[in-house]
């Protein structure tokens, strides 16, 4: 990864996030700690129920997110398109992977290992501070989006500040479908919320990436 | 007399934080005292800060169609109103009152901007991440429970959508 690429990705990552003390060079230093990995189409990135050992910045390609709800075969929960961030929840709370992620095409990820995550959590310099606040902004969005969606679906209920139902206020309507519930689960797990702010990213290709992309295009 | 720094140092989240960092935090943002019964936040008001309960107890209530309901109870070491810190144009979702004489640290953007390199603030940020993650997981576990209770034991290729009433009946059994 070139310094120019890091700069572009760091700027794009911060663009969708608003927090005090924001500093592009600090996020560049976070990305500097990442390992760049290129996955073939169909390659498994992480598996549901496995322990979380890394978080991922998706910078090229796409990820198919699959989840096995109890009593069902695995279903597609979402498709993440670059740029995006995923896999952070397992590191924040030590929980297992909530879904399986597979490369939907040739895909480039920047991988931040758990040891680097733990270092950044303790780091009191601008680098650690920016990383923690980036995570906090993402989780805030996840929490707010999940609660809003849940409130819409459970329109007949009053909920407390922690999102727990406290009373029924009106007669229910028969309009909650499986897909809506799936969507809510996706939001809460961070799969279907714009958590990265990468939307206006301009990807700068290096030679490796260019060759891989051209080879894929030729195959098609 | 016990000073603010000593009170903060009793909190588990500050267990590894040096006295000098706590002292710096107290000098920038001295904890605020609320008398028993004092209103801390009002439902619907603009929200731009979170409160770390340092001493005492806060009660949150919401005004609904059936009147006022207590919906939250926060003790020393817990954070209230944290979503206001990292999102814009937020409103308070509940009214918060001091259930007893309480002392709280106000965490706002001004404080976040002023405490470069302060390890106590880093501890607050880690605590916030944990608090948010627990809330997200808790809600999600409830959703998973709906699936567990409403879907057949054996995997199937397709599912008939259980009705809303069935789902919610299962989800909130005995709780309403």
Q: B4-171 domain in CATH 3.30.70.260?
A: no
Angle at B56 between CA B53 and CA B61, to 5 degrees: 75
% of chain A residues with pLDDT over 90: 32
Backbone angles phi, psi at A35, to 5 degrees: -100, 135
Residue in A40, A178, A93 with CA at minimum distance from that of residue B127: A93
Q: CA gyration radius for chain B?
A: 20
> Which of A20, A69, A167 lies nearest to residue B109, judging by beta carbons?
A20
Whether pTM > 0.90 for this model: the answer is no
Asked whether the beta carbons of B50 and B107 are under 8 A apart, the reply is yes
Contact (CB<8Å) B143/A124: no
Q: Answer with the residue of higher pLDDT: A144 or B79.
A: B79
Which of A19, A55, A68, A72 would best serve as a mutation to test chain B binding (most B beta carbons within 10 A)? A72
In the predicted model, what is the mean pLDDT of residues A58-74? 79
Q: In the CATH hierarchy, which top-level class contains the domain A36-195?
A: mainly beta
pLDDT of residue A69: 63
Q: What is the pLDDT of residue A216?
A: 55
Q: Please state, in angstroms and rounded to a whole number, the distance separating the CA atoms of residues B73 and B77.
A: 12
Angstrom distance (rounded) from CA A198 to CA A107: 16
* Contact present, A196 and A83 (Cβ < 8 Å): yes
Residue of chain B whose alpha carbon sits nearest to that of A138: B86
Which runs of E-coded beta strand occur in B4-120? 32-34, 39-41, 46-47, 49-55, 57-64, 67-75, 79-80, 90-91, 95-98, 102-108
Whole-number pLDDT of residue A72: 64
* Lowest-confidence segment of A32-36, A207-211, B81-85, B112-116 by average pLDDT: A207-211
Q: Which residues of B fall within a CB distance of 8 Å from A133?
A: 86, 112, 125
CA–CA separation, A73 and A66 (whole Å): 10
Q: Would you place residue A32 in the very low, low, confident or very high pLDDT band (cuts 50, 70, 90)?
A: very high
Mean of the pLDDT values across residues A116-130?
Answer: 95
The whole-number pLDDT of residue B173 equals 37
Domain ranges of chain A: 36-195
Domain boundaries, chain B: 4-171
**Which of A120, A140, A186, A189 to probe the B interface (max B CBs under 10 A)?**
A140
- Is any Cβ of chain A less than 8 angstroms from the Cβ of B63? no
* Interval B39-55: pLDDT, tens: 999 988 898 899 999 99
User: Does any CB of chain A come closer than 8 Å to the CB of residue B144?
Assistant: yes
Instruction: Please state the rounded mean pLDDT for residues A54-73.
Output: 82
CA A42, distance to chain mean position in Å, is: 19
User: Is B129 within 8 Å of A125 when comparing Cβ atoms?
Assistant: no
Which residues 73-112 on chain B approach chain A with CB closer than 8 angstroms? Answer: 82-83, 85-88, 93-94, 109, 112
């Amino acid at each position: 990864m070139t310094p120019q690429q890091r700069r572009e990705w760091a700027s794009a990552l911060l663009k969708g996030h608003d927090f005090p003390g924001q500093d592009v060079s600090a996020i560049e230093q976070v990305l500097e700690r990442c390992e760049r990995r290129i996955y073939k189409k169909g390659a498994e990135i992480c598996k549901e129920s496995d322990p979380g050992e890394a978080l991922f910045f998706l910078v090229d390609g796409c990820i198919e997110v699959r989840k096995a709800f109890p009593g069902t075969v695995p279903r597609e929960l979402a498709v993440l398109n670059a740029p995006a961030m995923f896999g952070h929840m397992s590191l924040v709370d030590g929980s297992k992977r909530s879904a399986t992620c597979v490369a939907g095409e040739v895909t480039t990820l920047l991988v931040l290992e758990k040891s680097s995550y733990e270092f950044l959590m303790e780091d009191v310099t601008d680098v650690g501070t920016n990383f923690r606040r980036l995570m906090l902004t993402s989780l805030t969005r996840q929490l707010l989006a999940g609660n809003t969606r849940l409130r819409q679906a459970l329109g007949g209920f009053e909920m407390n500040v922690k999102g727990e139902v406290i009373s029924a206020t009106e007669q229910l309507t028969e309009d909650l479908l499986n897909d809506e519930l799936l969507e809510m689960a996706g939001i809460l797990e961070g799969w279907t919320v714009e958590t990265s702010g990468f939307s206006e990213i301009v990807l700068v290709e290096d030679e490796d990436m260019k060759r891989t992309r051209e080879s894929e295009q030729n195959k098609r | 007399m016990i000073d603010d720094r000593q009170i903060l140092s009793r909190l588990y989240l500050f267990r590894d934080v040096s006295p000098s960092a706590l002292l710096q935090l107290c000098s920038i943002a001295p904890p605020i005292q609320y008398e028993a019964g004092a209103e801390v936040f009002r439902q619907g008001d603009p929200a731009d800060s979170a409160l770390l309960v340092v001493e005492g107890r806060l009660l949150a209530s919401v005004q609904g169609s059936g009147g006022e309901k207590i919906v939250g109870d926060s003790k020393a070491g817990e954070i209230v109103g944290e979503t206001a810190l990292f999102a814009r144009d937020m409103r308070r979702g509940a009214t918060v009152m001091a259930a007893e004489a309480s002392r709280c640290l106000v965490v706002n953007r001004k404080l976040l901007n002023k405490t470069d390199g302060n390890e106590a603030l880093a501890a607050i940020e880690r605590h916030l991440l944990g608090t948010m993650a627990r809330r997200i997981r808790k809600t999600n576990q409830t959703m998973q429970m709906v699936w567990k209770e409403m879907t057949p034991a054996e995997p199937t290729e397709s599912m008939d959508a259980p009705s809303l009433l069935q789902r919610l009946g299962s989800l909130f059994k005995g709780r309403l």
